Amino acid sequence: MVQNAWLIPLFPLVAYLLLFVLGRRAQEGIVTAISVLAALAGFIVSLLILSDVHANGASAPYVFHWLTVGQNTLSMGFEVTPLNAMMLTVVTFISTLVLLFSKGYLHGDARYSVFYQYLNLFIFSMLGLVISPNLLQVYIFWELVGLCSFLLVGFWYFKPEAAAAAKKAFIVTRIGDVGLFIGIVLIYVATGTFEYSGVFEAFEAKKFAIDWITPDHFITLVAILMFIGAMGKSAQFPLHTWLPDAMEGPTPVSALIHAATMVAAGVYLVARAFPIFEASPDALTVIGIIGGITAIFAALIGLTQNDIKRVVAYSTVSQLGYMVMALGVSAYAASTFHLMTHAFFKALLFLAAGSVIHAIHHNQDIRFMGGLWKKLPLTGWTFLIGALALSGIPPFAGFWSKDEILLGALKSGNTTLFVLGLIAAFCTAFYIFRVFFMTFTGEFRGEKEVYEHAHESGSVMTIPLVLLSIMAIVAGLLNSPLTDHAFEHFIFGGGEEIGKVYDTEWWLAGLATVVALAGIGLSYLMYKSKSINPEALANGPLRPFYQLSLNKFYVDELYHVAIVKPVVWIGHILNFIDKWVVDGIVHLFGEGTYIGSLGLKYSQNGQVQTYGLVTLIGALLLIGAAMYAVGGVK
């Protein structure tokens, strides 16, 4: 079966080309049918491959020749490993549901078909990324998913905020991408290959064709450069700023690209290339710290945001931080497991939020929501399930995976990371239930008429919610003592353990649950029972902190002042120099010649022949001089 894995990305590619040919006026029903069927076919093949890999383990890559560079050959192809079989399944599953959901969400949009084209192109690129057997191919698809993200965030191109967000997403991630670019080019220079297998061998032997750096430093350098790429894509501090802004895109895009799949690519890359990172303890330390900071930093911002999608977006940043932190402490299985469960419950939360937004005429501000449980009971239930999973309440999916990450941090001896993770868990539970209470309970605070008309959407939007809810409930069990940690055994491919694995500590699971419950409880007191007045807190002793969180710690402002403005100024200064100094000297020279040749003015009629003549005479003189100098003329 694995030899057919190339079919999986092919389906959405064909769907994309079909839609492209059909043009932008194709009927919505046909557009959706083609897209959903393609993704579904991919999902079915993925399931078959998953069971094949489960039985037979990873396969050798299938490659074909792509480009010859002297003696070297660059190739393209595909591979199937337990890790990417899991990714293929998750991506195709969520894609299918999001494509279905979009039928309701984008209904009536003038560029409906274009939206589906972009989505199919994205799904193709994402699948191409995870199926890549070498770093060059990863990079190619890495950029392509970024492009699709750009196109989809800016889908409503006439909105200036959407255009700005799209550009920001592309440029900020590209800063990271250049790190990855340098990383893989250096790997090629040092090892002569991009193929994972060849690269890993060279890293194990520490034999590199590079002499300006010691092998150990080289490994650390390359690992950190690659990680910079992962930081951009997976929105790690300080390159996280693009992701919340990317919420300008249509909500199905946020669910698929900016929650479940593309933003996890950074985590996937570090996991896939783990031997490179494992070879450098220093790089791992950096990764752990960046992940930990991101987890807590984004969680703190999430506490005070009022846009429903932005809160969920910050929670995505924070959860990605958990995954990265897990890789930093070598908790490979925990990280990839959290990647999977997070994909389910975060896609669920976004789609549920989308369902809310769709029902109340594209309002996203939770201050003007409330009491929607009565109007949107199914959305309410599914959001609640997603919120419980995110908070880490047993037996929901997030409980099992987050617990393993905390366990990994604790056992690695890095208590700071563990404590950061625990505090972030408290914040997470608090802010997601803040959203839940403000949206679904109490009185509606927006326009009455909107509330009257709010109703649950059709089955194309509710079916995906229900299916994702089921996954958000049960997916965690895959790696619990109840199933004897089936996920771990699978992801290691029946072979050696990758990274570190620890036995479940029940006291820790209990502690994490208590922390999460405390967060929910505080949220309840503030936003449901109103026993604590949040405004009094915000304007009282906690005011400085509240302002910091509300303004996202002023990171965007800092970048604007410290980077954007200076770079633009340098541009202006150089442009001035270009115009008045570089070009000016030429003009001066020109003027000088002009004045000098005033006497010849009348013989110079401005005709091109004259200039040609001058050039020719000059040339002949120079030739003569050159001949004389060379010694040929006697």
Residues forming the site for another protein (CB under 8 A): 24, 65-72, 136, 139-141, 143-144, 147, 150, 154, 157-158, 160, 163, 166-167, 170-171, 174-175, 177-178, 181-182, 185-186, 188-189, 212, 567-568, 570-572, 574-575, 578, 582-583, 586, 590, 608, 611-612, 615, 618-619, 622-623, 626-627, 630, 632
- Which run of H or of E encompasses 75? strand 72-78
**Residue 433 · residue 387 · CB < 8 Å:** yes
Q: How far apart are CA 20 and CA 8, in angstroms?
A: 19
Neighbours of 448 (CB within 10 A): 8
**Residue 59 · residue 82 · CB < 8 Å:** no
Task: Give the long-range contacts of residues 332-335, CB within 8 A, separation 24 or more.
Answer: 332/271, 332/274, 332/491, 332/498, 332/499, 332/500, 333/404, 333/479, 333/487, 333/488, 333/491, 333/492, 333/497, 333/498, 333/499, 333/501, 334/401, 334/404, 334/405, 334/407, 334/408, 335/267, 335/271, 335/405
Q: How far apart are CA 24 and CA 33, in angstroms?
A: 15
DSSP class of 602: T
Q: How far apart are CA 243 and CA 246, in angstroms?
A: 5
**Residue 412 · residue 329 · CB < 8 Å:** yes
Q: Count of H helices and E strands in the chain?
A: 28, 2
Tell me how far, at minimum, the Cβ of 634 lies from another protein, in Å.
8
Query: Toward another protein, which CB reaches closer, 447 or 578?
Result: 578
Query: Toward another protein, which CB reaches closer, 143 or 404?
Result: 143
Q: How far apart are CA 557 and CA 162, in angstroms?
A: 19
Query: Toward another protein, which CB reaches closer, 140 or 384?
Result: 140
Give the rounded distance of the alpha carbon of 511 from its chain centre: 31
Tell me how far, at minimum, the Cβ of 161 lies from another protein, in Å.
10
DSSP class of 72: E
Query: Toward another protein, which CB reaches closer, 118 or 399?
Result: 118
Q: Quick one: CA dihedral 599, 602, 607, 608, positive or negative?
A: negative
Query: Toward another protein, which CB reaches closer, 71 or 529?
Result: 71
Query: Toward another protein, which CB reaches closer, 181 or 345?
Result: 181
- Which run of H or of E encompasses 74? strand 72-78
Q: How far apart are CA 188 and CA 198, in angstroms?
A: 10
Tell me how far, at minimum, the Cβ of 173 lies from another protein, in Å.
10
Tokens of 414: 């890095």
Query: Toward another protein, which CB reaches closer, 78 or 332?
Result: 78
Tell me how far, at minimum, the Cβ of 121 lies from another protein, in Å.
10
Tell me how far, at minimum, the Cβ of 8 lies from another protein, in Å.
19
Tell me how far, at minimum, the Cβ of 165 lies from another protein, in Å.
11
Tokens of 562: 């410290």
Query: Toward another protein, which CB reaches closer, 117 or 379?
Result: 117
Tell me how far, at minimum, the Cβ of 614 lies from another protein, in Å.
8
Tell me how far, at minimum, the Cβ of 196 lies from another protein, in Å.
18
Tell me how far, at minimum, the Cβ of 421 lies from another protein, in Å.
33
Cβ contacts of residue 274 below 8 Å, gap of 6+? 327, 332, 498, 499
Query: Toward another protein, which CB reaches closer, 205 or 567?
Result: 567
Query: Toward another protein, which CB reaches closer, 66 or 506?
Result: 66
Tell me how far, at minimum, the Cβ of 148 lies from another protein, in Å.
11
Tell me how far, at minimum, the Cβ of 106 lies from another protein, in Å.
17
Tell me how far, at minimum, the Cβ of 124 lies from another protein, in Å.
11
* Residue 482 one-letter amino acid: L
Directed axis angle between helix 506-527 and helix 397-411, to 10°? Answer: 120
Query: Toward another protein, which CB reaches closer, 70 or 599?
Result: 70
Name the nearest CA neighbour of 324 among 188, 258, 230: 230
Query: Toward another protein, which CB reaches closer, 24 or 528?
Result: 24
Residue 365, φ and ψ in degrees, nearest 5: -90, 115
**Residue 87 · residue 447 · CB < 8 Å:** no
Tell me how far, at minimum, the Cβ of 178 lies from another protein, in Å.
5
Tell me how far, at minimum, the Cβ of 207 lies from another protein, in Å.
16
Tell me how far, at minimum, the Cβ of 170 lies from another protein, in Å.
6
* Residue 623 one-letter amino acid: I
Query: Toward another protein, which CB reaches closer, 158 or 602?
Result: 158
Query: Toward another protein, which CB reaches closer, 124 or 400?
Result: 124
**Residue 220 · residue 280 · CB < 8 Å:** yes
Residue 73, φ and ψ in degrees, nearest 5: -120, 130
Query: Toward another protein, which CB reaches closer, 525 or 627?
Result: 627
**Residue 444 · residue 451 · CB < 8 Å:** yes
